[in-house]
Amino acid sequence: MSEKNVRLQKIDAYRWLIEPTGGMRVPGIIYGDEVLISALGADRSPQQVANVAHLPGIVKYSLAMPDMHWGYGFPIGGVAAFDTAEGIVSPGGVGYDINCGCRLMTTRLLFDDIRDRVSDLVTALFQHIPSGVGSRGQVKLSPREEKAVLTEGSAWAVAQGYGEKNDLETTEDRGTMAGADPDKLSSRALERGRDQLGTLGSGNHFLEIEVVEEIYDEAAAQAFGLVKNQVAVLIHSGSRGLGYQVCDDYLARLVKHMGETGIELPDRQLACARLDSARGRDYLAAMACAANYAWANRQILMHRTRETFEKTLGKSPREIGMRLLYDVCHNIAKMETLPVEGKEMRLCVHRKGATRAFPPGHPALPASYRAAGQPVLIPGDMGTGSYVLAGTRKAFEETFGSTCHGAGRVMSRTQATKASQGRSIVQDLAAKGVIVMASGKGTLKEEIPEAYKNLDQVVEAVHGAGIARKVARLRSIGCIKG
């Protein structure tokens, strides 16, 4: 299918249709307002939305959120669900950083309590939390311990003293994905995971100190424990080298054997396996291992953050009061029961650069959040901050319980590096009231604020479309990056 055949038709203020042509089995729908859609320019992600619609077993639509941009096979921001009879699983629909996700912690502190200590906190966090390409943590795993991490996820970390049992209550799926089988990982993947647990990583991964700036939904904010001027910490990290290797290994395997499946693909990057095939089951078992590794990783990062706050500020755990509001994953394929045309269906939902957004009343949510809906965490660029939203019934019925995951890039890393020449990114951000530290200057150049879409516009699009609702906005005051 050539790109000129991908035409977007406006459905309403926040939805755009790609009608089925050629081998498309379902329509494509892209979320975004006029400004966001017009800003896509030469980005070929709408073509990828159409390409995904060719895959067997796809249900209803191929979807993309307003933070969408070009990715491997699936667009980043892409969502697609597949039935269990004919459907497939595709590593390109999950992404290389399996279970890359966000974890938001609130505290009892207000901004005035740390106004003069932000620099100290950022420096201490940078010193105590390993970051950067290939960074190694203080947790050294034996082969037996690594397999326990891969099957138990966050629960393993808590059992080792990295946090509290309450942390599991407010982690998506309690921080453990069932069906993980370490025997489905290559020796190289296991090797890469052995010494990277408790590390932040590089690129768009970060740890950010934030302050609650605005409340939009008082009832939901109260349920989530958010108040104005409150200090919070947002962590964005994933499964590190282990997850990357799992994706790389299985893409190579599936591309090699695509001729055996009888599935015609418009793009070889969509290489996939039937859900009921041995290769499909193997990938899901390996992906679950990487997902569990990522949850354990963020759990340990949170524990280190708690310790650093307490030591730096000289306050007790009770005075700091750091608690996990929620942890959400972005890059994942999950078996979920969802409404389709008025009936409950068991589906394999791919969310690549997209966030689960389950509605009020859903049994998967902690009891204290059920009246409000699932917390949805949407970070922006490092000079902006983030939003907390809540899942809705409309998302459950219209987007397979999914919404956006961030601001979304508008510049490649090469373009951003070129655009940042001659500037001091540290000074630019300091002028905005944000103290930032990074392992390498190259990361800051790649992650300049203008490399991303306008976070407020992206959030307004999902809020206006009704697939998440605004609860609170937080502004950044300090950030560490790899």
Q: What are 290-317's pLDDT values in tens digits?
A: 999 999 999 999 999 999 999 999 999 9
In terms of Cα–Cα distance, which of 324, 327, 348, 350 is closest to 337? 348
Instruction: Note the pLDDT of residue 5.
Output: 62
In terms of Cα–Cα distance, which of 257, 273, 376 is closest to 327? 376
Which active-site residues does the annotation give?
A: 405
Domain spans in the chain, listed from the N-terminal domain onward:
101-481
SS3 state of residue 163? coil
Instruction: Note the pLDDT of residue 1.
Output: 35
Q: Is the pTM of this model over 0.85?
A: yes
CB atoms closer than 10 angstroms to residue 261: 18
Cβ-proximal residues to 446 (8 Å cutoff; 6+ apart), any chain: 203, 413, 416, 417
427 pLDDT exceeds 70? yes
In terms of Cα–Cα distance, which of 401, 446, 439, 400 is closest to 423? 446
Distance separating alpha carbons of residues 481 and 478, to the nearest angstrom: 10
Q: Which amino acid is at 275?
A: L
Q: What top-level class would CATH report for the domain 101-481?
A: alpha beta
168 pLDDT exceeds 50? yes
Beta bridge partners of 329: 101
Q: What percent of the chain has pLDDT over 70?
A: 98
CB atoms closer than 10 angstroms to residue 23: 14
Give me the chain's average pLDDT, please: 95
- Which whole number is the average pLDDT over 217-242? 98
Cβ-proximal residues to 87 (8 Å cutoff; 6+ apart), any chain: 56, 57, 58, 59, 274, 275, 347, 348
Distance separating alpha carbons of residues 229 and 210, to the nearest angstrom: 9
- Which whole number is the average pLDDT over 70-96? 97
